[in-house]
Amino acid sequence: MKYLQAWLFYGLYTVLTITIAILVIIARIFGRDIAWQVGKLWGLTGNALLFVICGIRVKIEGQENIPDVPCVYAVKHQSTWETTTLPLALPPFAWILKKELMLIPFFGWALYALGAIAINRSNPRAALKQVNEKGVAQIKTGRSVVIFPEGTRSAVGEKGKYQPGVILLAKKAAVPIVPVAHNAGLCWPKGTILKYSGTITLRILPPISAEDVVERKRNDLLEEIEQSIEETCTALGAGVSKG
């Protein structure tokens, strides 16, 4: 039954993804802001399908912590869910994504239309340069940047190595950093098509001010971000086991 449920979800989700991607690409003709509003349909319809088919509810907390200025969001990465739902929770932003995602028909094209920043992860030095140059350019236009500091998805109970790119970009742009945690991996696990009923909670944590970002040491900032995200994930039931 779980597999039938999952296949039904993915069948409808794929159709919706292609449809919305086409609409985003068309809407881009009228400006990125219009395309962004259309792109929100992906998260809205995806979450509706999760609820109706899989019994998964979505809860967003901490939006009062969103700064009034562009910033860098450091987001835990456990599933596809956060990629689609973040536009519902945050003001317009640009994702930092591996370039391979941009090659996926429709999906990747829509990400490009929305201004996602593609990087080559096989060349860390070049990737970091791309993050800094293109990220600062986005921030200067008034858009924030979303970075998954672990670089790739981590399963529940696992923690990847937090990379300093999020700190370097925020320092270069002199903007706040906002950690974001969630427990999506409990309901939408990595490495399986199965979905499990429950509530996905995305929590936007208090920002680190631009002044602190500029003045404090890189490693201290990275440690604080990692600790705040991982402790919140643990509180939400999706953190690294201590046992």
pLDDT digits (tens, 9 = 90+) for 182-232: 999 999 998 899 999 999 999 999 999 999 999 999 999 999 999 999 999
As a whole number, mean pLDDT of residues 36-51 equals: 95
Query: Between 159 and 210, where is the model more confident?
Result: 210
Tell me which amino acid residue 109 is: W
d(CA 24, CA 52): 25
What percent of the chain clears pLDDT 90, i.e. is strictly above it? 79
- Given a cut of 60, is residue 243 above it in pLDDT? no
- Given a cut of 70, is residue 111 above it in pLDDT? yes
As a whole number, mean pLDDT of residues 235-243 equals: 69
Beta strand residue intervals within 65-217, DSSP E: 72-75, 93-98, 117-119, 144-147, 177-182, 198-204
Closest residue by Cα to residue 61 from 154, 179, 142: 179
Domains in the chain, CATH or no CATH each: 59-235 (3.40.1130.10)
Residue 240: per-residue pLDDT? 62
What percent of the chain clears pLDDT 70, i.e. is strictly above it? 98
Q: What is the DSSP letter of 161?
A: P
pLDDT averaged over every residue in the chain: 93
As a whole number, mean pLDDT of residues 133-150 equals: 94
- Given a cut of 70, is residue 57 above it in pLDDT? yes
As a whole number, mean pLDDT of residues 32-44 equals: 94
d(CA 54, CA 4): 11
- Given a cut of 60, is residue 242 above it in pLDDT? no
